[in-house]
Amino acid sequence: MTFVPDRALLRKYADIFVHFALNDGKSIEPWSVVYVMLPECAKPFYLPLQASILEAWAFPIFNYIADGVARHFLDSLPNNLVEFYPKEYMLARTEAIDYSIAIIAEADKHEMDWVDTKKMFQRQRAWKFYRDALSKKEDEGKFTWTLWLYGTQAMADEVGMSLEEYWNQIIQACYLDTPDTVAEWKNIDTALISIKEHLNSLDIQSIHMVWDDCDLTIQLGSDRKWLWGSGRNIPSFELFISPDWRGTQGWIRFNQPLYRYGTLIEWIELAFENWLVTKASAKTNESVLLDMIAQDNANKVGEYSLTDSRLSRITKFMGETLYDENVWWPYWNSHIALWKAYKDSYPWDLSTVTEAQWDAMGYNDSVIHTDMISTTNRTVTATTISGEEVVIYKDGHFTFWNP
């Protein structure tokens, strides 16, 4: 018999998003509009989520996405429509919504195998106007979003788990096994803010990360602050920053597989010279990795992240970046992302910054943002603006934090 999560558990899950993840850790505002992207294979979550939104006196708009149509659409799409989007409709939707919930759920992990990635990236470039409009609204404090996972049999099969085992990881990771899940997330939020504030107080100019599989220096630069999930991803236990891409040197290997565009890429290795990726390799599907890096500004670092093992309860590879970028087993977690930087790493008023100023500060911009993850041990030494060297992370822990 197929495992289906209990309705009460799903309602508890929904309440995290409505009463914590959206609106920066606060409950969503009454009379607001919540746009929900929900795949067909996540249908059991439809009614619990709808009930939670409506009981908060907000209005849900569901984009119910049929399973098994993405590949057919891309394959059937005429070349003269590859870059077409109904721009007026999409920008009007941007104006209408206050919050967005995106559910990761897959009925077929291999639906997009052997897809024309160049065609896919062409559509992503054409989609950028919509993402930029949402980012601008978020920068103005008028929009928040959250991303979460609904486990399916296909997703569990891919990583060698039963569906119940897969959901047990979700339950543990999201603290759904605790009496007051929303309170737990607010406690985690408080801990992450404490770590973030200490990191920001150090005035770090650059970090140097070393182990057997890396020797990498990343320049953080000025006009930066460390960030935490703040509800955007559930679960999220990471501390991250958008570095100045013009100061990346060295090399790094990632021991965790990357699922991207329906493709599994394994054992990625990158080398940087003069701030740019000059060598990229992978043991499987290297061509997809190279296609990604060939996109505009995709050969530059956009994010650097560390996770403390004392916060995360994720202990298994889940085949989804949302979870795998927070896994701490067996050795803890660090990751970087090439491509697009998060502009909310800027510590001042984002709405006053021009595109030319973003470029001048070294905030990378691209249509792509992809995290690449390693769970090997790392020692991270920070060099402050005053020249002091401080070990901030070792053996999977922030050295200065004692919970």
| Residue carrying the six token digits 């990604």 | 292
Cα separation, 145 vs 127, in Å, equals 18
Cα separation, 270 vs 254, in Å, equals 9
Cβ 159 vs Cβ 317: under 8 Å: yes
Cβ 306 vs Cβ 192: under 8 Å: no
**What pLDDT is attached to residue 260?**
78
Token pair in block for residue 370: 């992809």
Quickly list DSSP for 378-394.
-EEEEEETTS-EEEEEE
pLDDT tens digit at each of 403 positions of the chain: 578 899 999 999 999 999 999 998 889 999 999 999 999 999 999 999 999 999 999 999 999 999 999 999 999 999 999 999 999 999 999 999 999 999 999 999 888 877 787 888 889 889 989 999 998 999 888 999 999 999 999 999 999 999 999 999 999 999 999 999 999 999 999 999 999 999 999 999 999 999 999 999 999 988 999 999 888 999 999 999 999 999 999 999 999 988 877 778 999 999 999 999 999 999 999 998 998 898 889 899 999 999 998 889 999 989 998 999 898 877 778 899 987 898 889 999 888 889 899 999 999 988 778 899 999 999 999 999 999 999 999 998 999 999 8
Cβ 216 vs Cβ 272: under 8 Å: yes
Cα separation, 138 vs 133, in Å, equals 9
Cα separation, 247 vs 206, in Å, equals 8
Close Cβ partners of 136 (under 8 Å, ≥ 6 residues apart): 351
**What pLDDT is attached to residue 37?**
98
Question: Can you give 78-128 as a three-state secondary structure string?
Answer: CHHHCCCCCHHHHHHHHHHCCEEEEEECCCCCCCCCCCCHHHHHHHHHHHH
Cβ 41 vs Cβ 152: under 8 Å: yes
Q: How far is CA 231 from the centre of its chain?
A: 11
Note every long-range contact of 345-349, with CB atoms under 8 Å and residues 24 or more positions apart, other chains counting.
Answer: 345/224, 345/225, 345/226, 345/227, 345/241, 345/242, 346/223, 346/224, 346/225, 346/242, 347/200, 347/223, 347/224, 347/225, 348/223
Q: What is the pTM of this model?
A: 0.89
Token pair in block for residue 158: 């891919």
Q: What DSSP character marks residue 21?
A: I
pLDDT in tens, 292-343: 898 889 899 999 999 998 889 999 989 998 999 898 877 778 899 987 898 8
Enumerate domains of the chain plus CATH numbers.
Answer: 7-177 (3.40.1830.10), 183-398 (no CATH)
pLDDT in tens, 3-49: 889 999 999 999 999 999 999 888 999 999 999 999 999 999 999 99
- Give the residue from 278, 391, 259 showing the smallest Cα distance to 320: 259
**What pLDDT is attached to residue 1?**
57
